[in-house]
Each structure stands twice: as C-alpha cells, then as structure tokens.
Amino acid sequence: MMAEAQLCGLHDEITCSLCLDTLTDPVTILCGHSFCLKCISNYWDQSQECSCPQCRHTFTKRPELNRNTLLNEVIKKLKKTTLSSPPSQNYAGPGDVECEFCTGKKFRALKSCLTCPASYCQTHLWPHYEGAPWKGYKLVDPDRNLKEKICEKHQKSLEIFGKTDDSCICMMCVVNGHNGHKMVELETEREEKQKQLEATMSDIKRGLEEREKTLKETRRAMKEMKVSGLGRQHFISKRGEINE
C-alpha cells in the first residue's frame, strides 16, 4: 500500500502529458519537462515548430532527445514494488470489475487489457509491464463492458471507425473487408461526435434562453396592460362620482 501511495504522490512527475499514461522511455527536454520518447517525437514530427507541449517554450532547432536513465529506473522500481505488494483488503466488491485470473475469492481489477481482452488485479497484471510479449498491449481503466469494445469476428480491439459503413471495426476488418473505405481512428471520431453534441446542446440552450426571454417580456407586457386597465377603470369610476 505504501508503494501505491508513492505512485500517487509522484503521479504528475511520472505521467506523460501527451498520452496521459506512465512515462515509457522517458526523455527530459531543455525546459525540464519529461515525455515518452515516442510521444514527443511524434508531436514534433507533426508540428511546424519544436516547442514544449506543456510550457510552450519554443526551441530554435529541434533538440536531441536523450533518455532520462534515472527517471526510467525510478519508474521501473515503483512499478515493480507496487505490483509485488500484497493486495490486502483489495477484494472486488459490488460494482467493481473482478480479476478474471484469480481463483476463489477474486481481487478487484486494476486494469483491463483491450488486446487480450481481459481484466487483471495487481498480481496478475505485472507481465504486461515486465514481459516482452505483452509490450504494446493497450491497457485501460477497469471496464466491465470489454466485449462491447472487441470485434466479434476477429477478437481484436475496436480501434477504427468506418465512416463508409458507420461502424466500429478492428485492424483485421480494415485489411479483410474495408480496404478503400473512408476511415478514421475511433478516438478521433469520438472527439468529433463530442464536439457536434456540444454544439447541438449549445444551440438548444441558446434557444431555451431566447424562449425564456420572450416569455418574460410577454408576461411583463400583460402585467402592464392589466395595471393600465385597472387605472383606466379607476379613473372612469372617480369621474362618475364627481359628475353625480
């Protein structure tokens, strides 16, 4: 449990701000911020200028990237210590995702793997961090709906959205049946749909506000008409009393 606390306390220091995951092959650039080697390389490959994604400091020329050996060792030791710690009082409760490899009373899953696909507790997860065959497997927060994110035909994670067929597909689907179709990454499509939803919600909100404003103006006008009518009646009544 102490190791978990150490990881939580160092979360910002060992997390890549680009992929939002624990640093892999960490490199520290001249401004002092650290990123995964692959993440910062891809970021600069796609940018017009070389700048820090975190503080926006711009470099006149692309800096040479050297692995931060010390930071890399710290992360490895923290992971090893955390994963080897006994998961006491960590049994799955109501609403938790259970580890699929525990026998008897099951522990709570720490991560779900979209590549496997399966969910793992601390003890059974360690090969994904240390074992070469599992390198590159996609780990996500515990998910009880893994089957919905897996291609039924190929048993691979759904990573692509086929715009032509309006469906989520895996990489095997791309090769075997969707070649030539218009496709985007699933995350890109999700972000686009989110933007569209936010725009729609904004339009609805603006329409409701306009209707509310119109309703208030109508009520105010009706109230003024009512007050004006009462004043006229009072005037007529008083005038009648005087004439008598």
- Chain segment 25-81, per-residue pLDDT in tens: 999 998 888 999 999 999 898 888 888 988 888 998 888 888 898 888 888 887 776
- 212 and 178 within one domain: yes
- 175 and 139 within one domain: no
**What pLDDT does residue 27 have?**
92
The parent domain of residue 120 ranges over 89-149
Domain CATH number, residue 134: 4.10.830.40
8 A C-beta contact, residue 158 and residue 131: no
- Chain segment 95-149, per-residue pLDDT in tens: 888 888 888 888 888 888 877 788 888 878 877 776 666 767 878 888 877 777 7
**What pLDDT does residue 232 have?**
60
Which of 41, 56, 85 is the endpoint of a domain? 85
- Give the closest residue to 99 by CA, choosing from 85, 116, 82: 116
- 211 and 163 within one domain: yes
Domain CATH number, residue 45: 3.30.40.10
SS (H, E, C) the chain: CHHHHHHHHCCCCCECCCCCCECCCEEECCCCCEEEHHHHHHHHHCCCCEECCCCCCEECCCCCCCECHHHHHHHHHHHHHHHHCCCCCCECCCCCCECCCCCCCCEECCEEECCCCEEECHHHHCHHHHCHHHCCCCEECCCCCHHHHECCCCCCECCEEECCCCEEECHHHHHHCCCCCCEEEHHHHHHHHHHHHHHHHHHHHHHHHHHHHHHHHHHHHHHHHHHHHHHHHHHHHHHHHHHC
Q: What residues does 162 pair with on adjacent strands? A: 167, 183
- 191 and 177 within one domain: yes
User: Any long-range contacts for 55-60 (C-beta under 8 Å, 24+ apart)?
Assistant: 55/31, 57/30, 57/31, 59/29, 59/30
- 171 and 116 within one domain: no
- 210 and 130 within one domain: no
- 104 and 28 within one domain: no
- 81 and 96 within one domain: no
8 A C-beta contact, residue 39 and residue 21: no
- Chain segment 175-234, per-residue pLDDT in tens: 776 666 677 776 777 778 788 888 888 889 888 989 998 988 888 888 877 776 665 665
Which of the residue ranges 115-124, 155-164, 232-241 would you say has the lowest mean pLDDT?
232-241
Which of 122, 149, 176 is the endpoint of a domain? 149
Domain CATH number, residue 176: 3.30.160
User: Any long-range contacts for 44-49 (C-beta under 8 Å, 24+ apart)?
Assistant: none
- 74 and 53 within one domain: yes
- 182 and 168 within one domain: yes
- 222 and 197 within one domain: yes
- 93 and 69 within one domain: no
Name the domain count of the chain. Answer: 3
- Give the closest residue to 24 by CA, choosing from 9, 10, 39, 12: 39
Which of 102, 122, 149 is the endpoint of a domain? 149
